[in-house]
Chains A and B, each alone.
Chain A
């Protein structure tokens, strides 16, 4: 709590993200309307007392769809980044721990995945598996795995060289135990910072995929999809497109700011770096 008082930016970012996350989790309770309910009379109308952010081409409440859209975006991104962290992080730590040929093979494999432009690889994976929110999550997870492996391998190399890891080896701890109990906890700050930053960019990738029709499928409310549908009625009623895009920005912005503030707090040496 003391840290939060001394770091207003961190406190702000944390509250900002927490509010959105809570709204996403309790979307059903928070949203004023059912996101699929059509109110024909309100079609394409702008903001009003009944529909704060207006209604879309079917008369569905834009605010309710945004709150549910946050939920879909966060669900896909959190699942994808979590899986990437688990697989990529493990590979990075294993590579750093064993060095030698294991390190070379693992990191070379990561280099190959890393060679693909992020969105292109994600599009390719979705195309092969069929467009759905679950395949979008798999695609994002595959794309982010090499990023986590690279990000964690560097700091893990330093930790593996430390005296306490050598000490743990000396008392005969197993490899798995050392990695889990000694190496991993010392990487907590890196993990926390990078997870939050990558979640922010995953939100943007998910929105891009949905925008292209390769993510969440209609009629499920999704921010990217709302933006792409709203585009067709832009001159008639820009509300759905403008607000859903702003909602993507707000979500990604909060997570990025949080990662940034966490980096300052946990590791002042990295301040201002990308």
Chain B
């Protein structure tokens, strides 16, 4: 990739990250009423002294620009402040709970995206009025099935069929690798199904487009096997929309993971964020949203670069 393009992309990235941080910074300041009194009211009696002390601690008594610079400067050094009630560094609380969510998201994405290719190819082979209609209804259903409901139904089914199997909760990978994957499998399936429906449909339509192209006819004419025609020649055509879609879906999955975690009692980001909202621990909430969104932006940036590697047309 030409350096100029990379430099432009990096500049774009910096701009988006700056704006994201400004919006997240504005969050606490947009709370209607006195944010500090609201925060305090969750856990203690609100007295003028306590309000003043907390206000000074978060820096709300400074001019806005000073506040922002101090906040973002500290954040860039990895200091997101201390949690309002526990006094622990916010970043440590996030670090302790972000992994189950990331793991769940990645597993769901891998399941959804991985199965989408063979499913989509298989779906492309079934053609005809009835098959088209049936597949459309099935994929639309898959697309609109609420993951948190699917999770509940699966728990219910498992409790009936195999009452002894432990489906809820979370064990760290380092303690029990098999148990870790085992516990995450059901939530990942619940979370990944809509992605599977979405992506396999995309693969199918891209395959159908490709199968009538000249280069596929040429490949058949030169005697390539059906498997090679499908996977090597036709599927390449589907790569680009597929990669874009995976990037978009990652954000959707992360949000979905927050909800699905609640169903399976997984102590992840969802519990952290909901807890922060209940405790009105806004600095923690702010930091969590900032860290996750920036991670997400950087990931999409990498996907974009990948895109340029796959598609020579984007490079120029």
Interface residues of A (CB under 8 A from B): 9, 108-109, 111-112, 115-124, 127-131, 200, 204, 207-208, 211-214, 227-228, 231, 234-235, 238, 241-242, 245-246, 248-249, 252-253, 256-257, 260, 271-274
Chain B: interface secondary structure? helix
B234 CB within 8 Å of chain A: no
Let me know if B201 is at the binding interface, CB within 8 A: yes
Tell yes or no: B53 within 8 A of A by CB.
no
Q: Cβ of B205 and Cβ of A214 under 8 Å apart?
A: no
In the assembled complex, the CB of B289 is this many whole angstroms from the nearest CB of chain A, namely: 5
Question: Are A241 and B23 interface neighbours, CB within 8 A?
Answer: no
Can you name the residue of chain A whose Cβ is closest to the Cβ of B208? A272
> Is B36 an interface residue, CB under 8 A from the partner?
no
Check B119 for interface membership: any CB of A closer than 8 A. no
Chain A residues whose CB sits within 8 angstroms of the CB of B144 once the complex forms: 200, 204, 249, 252-253, 256
> How many residues of B are counted as interface, with CB atoms below 8 angstroms from the partner's CB atoms?
58
Report the separation of the CA atoms of residues A246 and B153 in the bound assembly, to the nearest whole angstrom. Answer: 10
Closest 7 CB pairs of A and B: A119-B255, A245-B149, A272-B205, A252-B144, A117-B251, A112-B19, A253-B144
Chain B CB within 10 A, most for which of A9, A117, A127, A272: A117
Which chain B residues (149-201) contact chain A, with CB distance < 8 Å?
Answer: 149-150, 152-153, 155-156, 159, 198, 201
Asked whether, in the complex, the Cβ of A272 is within 8 Å of the Cβ of B201, the reply is: yes
> Is B71 engaged at the interface, CB distance under 8 Å to the other chain?
no
The residue in chain B whose Cβ has the minimal distance to the Cβ of A208 is B259
Please tell me if the beta carbons of B16 and A112 are within 8 angstroms of each other in the complex.
Answer: yes
Q: Tell me, in angstroms, the Cα distance from A273 to B139 when the chains sit together.
A: 13
Residue from A123, A207, A242, A248 whose CB has the most chain B CB atoms within 10 Å: A123
Tell me whether B146 is interfacial, beta carbon within 8 Å.
yes
Inter-chain contact B31/A128, CB cutoff 8 Å: yes
Smallest CB separation, B73 vs chain A (Å)? 21
B15 sits at the interface (CB 8 A): yes
CA distance A248 to B147 in the complex (A): 11
With contact pairs A117-B252, A238-B156, A242-B156 given, residues A227 and B149 touching in the complex (Cβ less than 8 Å): yes
Task: Using CB atoms, name the residue of chain B closest to A130.
Answer: B32
Give residues 254-280 of B contacting A (CB, 8 Å): 254-256, 258-259, 262-263, 270, 273-274, 276-277
Mask, B35-75, CB within 8 Å of A = 1, is: 00000000000000000000000000000000000000000
Q: Give bound CA distance, A127 to B263, whole Å.
A: 21
Chain B: CB-nearest residue to A274: B202
In the complex, are the beta carbons of B15 and A241 less than 8 A apart? Answer: no
* Most-contacted residue by chain A among B23, B28, B146 (CB, 10 A): B146
Would you give 23 A-B contacts (Cβ < 8 Å), ordered by A?
A9-B133, A9-B136, A109-B19, A116-B293, A119-B256, A120-B289, A123-B273, A127-B277, A128-B27, A129-B32, A131-B277, A207-B146, A211-B262, A212-B262, A212-B274, A227-B152, A234-B152, A245-B146, A245-B148, A245-B153, A252-B146, A257-B137, A272-B201
The answer on a CB contact under 8 Å between A120 and B258 is yes
Chain A binding surface, main DSSP class: helix
Closest chain A residue to B23, Cβ basis: A112
Residues on B lying within 8 angstroms of A by beta carbon are 15-16, 19-20, 23-24, 27-28, 30-32, 133, 136-137, 140-141, 143-146, 148-150, 152-153, 155-156, 159, 198, 201-202, 204-205, 208, 241, 245, 251-252, 254-256, 258-259, 262-263, 270, 273-274, 276-277, 282, 285, 289, 292-293, 296-297, 300
Closest Cβ neighbor of A271 among chain B residues: B205
Whole-angstrom CA separation of A131 from B254 in the bound complex: 21
CB-defined contacts of A256 to chain B, threshold 8 Å: 140, 143-144
Which B residues lie within 8 Å of A118 (CB)?
A: 251-252, 255
B149 close to A249 (CB less than 8 A): yes
Among B152, B282, B296, contact of A115 (Cβ-Cβ < 8 Å): B296
Most chain B CB within 10 A, of A118, A119, A213, is at A119
**Closest residue of A by beta carbon distance from B294:** A115
Is A248's CB under 8 angstroms from B146's CB? yes
Q: Give bound CA distance, A273 to B202, whole Å.
A: 7
Q: Report the Cα distance A204→B194, complex, angstroms.
A: 12
With A and B bound together, what is the CA distance between A140 and B38 in angstroms?
24
Residues of A within 8 A of B159 (CB): 234-235
CA distance A208 to B202 in the complex (A): 25
* A90, B136: Cα distance in complex, Å: 32
User: A245 and B205: CB pair below 8 A?
Assistant: no
CA of A34 to CA of B137, assembled, Å: 34
Question: Residue on B with the closest CB to A122?
Answer: B255
Are B20 and A115 closer than 8 Å at their CB atoms? yes
- Whether the Cβ atoms of A212 and B245 lie closer than 8 Å is no
Determine the chain A residues whose CB is within 8 A of the CB of B155 once the complex forms: 234
> From residue B17, how far is it (CB to closest CB) to chain A in Å?
8
- Report which of A119, A242, A272 forms a contact with B259, defined as CB distance below 8 A: A119
Q: Tell me which of B251, B252, B254 has the highest count of chain A C-beta atoms within 10 A of its own C-beta.
A: B251
Q: Which residues of B contact A249 (CB under 8 A)?
A: 141, 144-146, 149
Residues of B within 8 Å of A214, CB to CB, are 277
Name the residue of chain B whose CB is nearest to the CB of A264: B136
Q: Say whether B296 contacts A117, CB under 8 Å.
A: yes
